[in-house]
Amino acid sequence: MRLTFDTGETIIADHEAGDEIIGQIMCDGRRYPLAEGENTVGRQSESSSATIQLPTSDMSMSRSHLRITVHRLKNGRIKAVLSDMRDAKKIQALPTYIDEEPLQPEDAYVLENGDRITLGKTKIRYVK
């Protein structure tokens, strides 16, 4: 599915019509749907264990850079919590930033629609 917005931005959605979308991340015009539970995001690689692997040559992003845990609350609303997965003792990848603020490995951040996230030098956006 291809969507175009007033801004001229074209989005390619990687999901089937009728699928419930509980949140997604956008990167380079592609949408990556999030599943309920734990979603790991990182650089695409044969050795990556990330559930969402971004096709990039950005070596400043690790193969498992961050975690987005999606919870369905009792009232039916969705809560997505981001945490950095980089090892604080041996950080080689660049830090994760939320709207230009650095996220420390021990931090957890509740995502809001439109939050801009930087993994290494790669920029993504969270969309509900």
pLDDT digits (tens, 9 = 90+) for 34-73: 999 999 999 998 988 899 999 998 888 888 889 999 999 9
Q: Which domain holds residue 64?
A: 2-127
Question: Measuring CA to CA, which residue among 28, 62, 34, 38 is closest to residue 48?
Answer: 62
Total of domains in the chain: 1
Provide the token pair at 90: 């041996």
CB distance 80 to 126 below 8 Å? yes
Asked if pLDDT for residue 3 goes beyond 60, the answer is: no
pTM of the model: 0.78
The CATH number covering residue 63 comes to: 2.60.200.20
Q: What angle do CA 82, 85, 91 make, to 5 degrees?
A: 135
Measured between alpha carbons, how far is 48 from 86 in angstroms, rounded to an integer? 13
Pair type for strands 52-54 and 37-43:
parallel
Whether 16 has a pLDDT exceeding 80, the answer reads no
pLDDT the model gives residue 68:
95
